Structure 1
Amino acid sequence: MSTPDLKITSTIIPEELRLNVLPRYLGGHYLSGEMMVYDWAARLCPRYQGGYWNFFALSNGGFYMAPEGMERIHVRWHLNGYSDTMGADAFGITVTLFALCHLAEKTLDDAIIERFQQLREFATHHVEAANILRAID
């Protein structure tokens, strides 16, 4: 758990280290976790057609994935009435939070719950925090 006075930072994970990222953060759930991220991207943005995703490590021990090369993305979630646009980084955080929540419910794995909490903590300080938090509410 991070100290509230310290800013949580993100660092892009280099290409040569990507192979071990999801197993490190999601353990044995890494395959289903990755598929959930892409599934949630398609659910939240029907125009999403796939693409390359960057992986980010957080200074509090968390991580997230974000699509590369996308501009503003229209996100809609019918269960809470959210409909707005956000940048690719915020979209990645939002999608990863949805996927981690889904994976935590499915597995009841405390490590996955911790990953969700770490990312949510980071999201509260993101430049698009209001959009991210409204989308996941």
Structure 2
Amino acid sequence: MTDADTALGGYYLVYRGTTHPVLFSGEGWLAVAATEDQREQFPDAVEHGVNSRGSWVKLPVDAVERRFRRTVEATWRDEPVTVVGPVLDGTVLLHYRRSPERAAELGMAGDRQSGWQLRVPLDEVDVVNVSDRDFS
């Protein structure tokens, strides 16, 4: 994987022309990461704070230009996986939904109902397809 910023699955928003991962959301708002120094870049923010995910700002849905879900399909050790992120220390979190036996061979944790996950080195993953789906 070469472009970690565009090759992570998850929910995103576009605010003032810039794409941000959504940290969490609620009725009528979405939260994105923003340090205290970055808060001025979010004049529409209705609240700011800090939690286990770091510093954040809440933006009203009406102030957001676009909301979408990114799906990243990839291969790892010749198996189809989904990249669910995030990148930490050069590794990425993968999700796998096929053979339980193969998942066990690969050292993945999980079950048939939820699938299996494993954090692997970023450079071992080959991205096959990145697709975005807008939602309202």
TM-score by length of 2: 0.24
User: Which of these two proteins has the greater Rg computed from alpha carbons?
Assistant: 2
Q: Which structure shows the bigger proportion of residues in strand conformation?
A: 2
Q: Which structure shows the bigger proportion of residues in helix conformation?
A: 1
